[in-house]
Amino acid sequence: MNSDAPTTPRKPFFSPEEIERYARHLVLGEIGGPGQQKLKKASMLVVGAGGLGAPALLYLAAAGVGRLVVIDDDVVSLSNLQRQVVHTTEMVGRLKTESAEAFVAALNPHVDFQGVAGRLSAENALDLVGTVDVVIDGSDNFSTRYLVSDACALARKPLVTAALGRFDATVTTIRAHESGPDGAPNPTYRCLFPEPPPAGLVPSCAEAGILGAVAGVAGTLVALEAIRVVVGFGEGLVGRLLMIDTLSMRFETLSYGWDPDNPLTGTAPTITDLSGHRR
């Protein structure tokens, strides 16, 4: 081998602009250069660009997640702007996916954004989930939550899911395709909530109202959990439900485990595809 042969200079992983942009991550021992590289290589699916998805998108884009896929079929309304912080007044009437794309591009041009203007369904869920590393469920209804969680379990993808109330919120991370430190399977969403509540029991946001900043708190925590899944630092919310009550300013966690009777990953599973979600 000729040692004098010319070599192709190795292209830096980060541009000088990116190094400055992510400087506060790069000096964190728990993230540093390797963790930031993982974020740049990572892809995430965000289901819903609303109260939870909007603040999550803001911090995921700022953190430098390489590819963000967002599915939402709604348009921006004036009443959204009190809490859905990636949308602006001039975007009222536009698709939320278009609005979110414009915001992400303005915040961080290094992020690849893919908007899907539609609803998550049994027909498209596995295809969308299968193309990403992490899924974030910011939906506002139980049928979609069960669909997302079932799809993630079947596709063996980690899921960060949350729900909002008037002054409260819950957040948890689900890695149902993996086992815990004790060797038992990690729990699924169906281990935590075996059945959805009766129709009409939980009022919608439009009916009950919501404090806008609550969505920001929960959505930011969702982004934190998704970043943690990629980088791998600290103790996450697998098997733990974080419950946030902003009226009393209390943060509590409820531990939950794998249910061998759950129909998705139990000892005798009956859910092997998404056909039960087809309407």
Q: Is the dihedral of CA 61, 63, 69, 75 positive or negative?
A: negative
66-92: average pLDDT: 97
Question: Which H/E stretch holds residue 159?
Answer: strand 159-164
Tokens matching residue 29:
């021992």
Q: Which residues pair with 183 in a beta bridge?
A: none
Percent of the chain predicted with pLDDT > 90 = 87
Write the CB contacts of 181 (distance below 8 Å, at least 6 apart in sequence): none
pLDDT of residue 204: 75
Mean pLDDT, range 141-147, rounded to an integer:
94
Does the pLDDT value for residue 5 go beyond 50? no
* pLDDT range class, residue 2, cuts 50, 70, 90: very low
Structure tokens belonging to residue 188 = 């699924």
Please, what is the average pLDDT of the chain? 93
Strands across the sheet with 67-71, in order?
112-116, 67-71, 43-47, 134-137, 159-164, 168-174, 240-245, 250-255
Which pLDDT tens digit goes with each residue over 60-74? 999 999 999 999 999
**C-alpha span between 5 and 63 (Å, rounded):** 40
Query: Rounded to whole angstroms, how far apart are CA atoms 170 and 69?
Result: 23
Q: How many CA atoms lie within 13 A of 188 on its CB side?
A: 28
The 10s digit of each residue's pLDDT in 243-262 is 999 999 999 999 999 999 99
Residue 251 φ/ψ region, left for φ over 0, alpha for ψ in the -120 to 50 degree band, beta for the rest: beta
DSSP symbol at 156: T
Fold designation for 34-272: Rossmann fold (3.40.50)
pLDDT (0 to 100) of residue 3 = 47
Residues 217, 218, 221, 222, Cα dihedral to 10°: -150
Cite the DSSP H helix spans in 156-211: 189-192, 205-208
For residue 203, what pLDDT is reported?
A: 75
pLDDT score, position 13: 86
pLDDT at 266: 95
pLDDT at 4 over 60: no
C-alpha to C-alpha distances, 112 to 130, 160, 182, 203, 266, nearest whole angstrom: 17, 21, 38, 36, 37
> What is residue 15's three-state secondary structure?
coil
Q: What was the pLDDT predicted at 40?
A: 97
Q: Which residue has the tokens 């009766």?
A: 198
What's 173's DSSP letter? E
Residue 21, helix vs strand vs coil: helix
Give the single-character DSSP code of 146: H
- Look up tokens 């969702």; give the residue: 222
Enter the pTM of the model.
Answer: 0.93
**In this predicted model, which residue has the larger pLDDT, 2 or 97?**
97
Q: pLDDT per residue over 12-52, tens digit each?
A: 689 999 999 999 999 999 999 999 999 999 999 999 999 99
pLDDT of residue 10: 56
Average pLDDT over residues 134-145: 94
What is the per-residue pLDDT across 163-210, written as a single tens digit (0 to 9) for each?
A: 999 999 999 999 999 999 889 999 999 999 998 877 766 777 777 899
Contacts of 11 (CB under 8 A, 6+ apart): none
Q: What is the percentage of the chain residues whose pLDDT exceeds 70?
A: 95
CB 106 within 8 A of CB 122: no
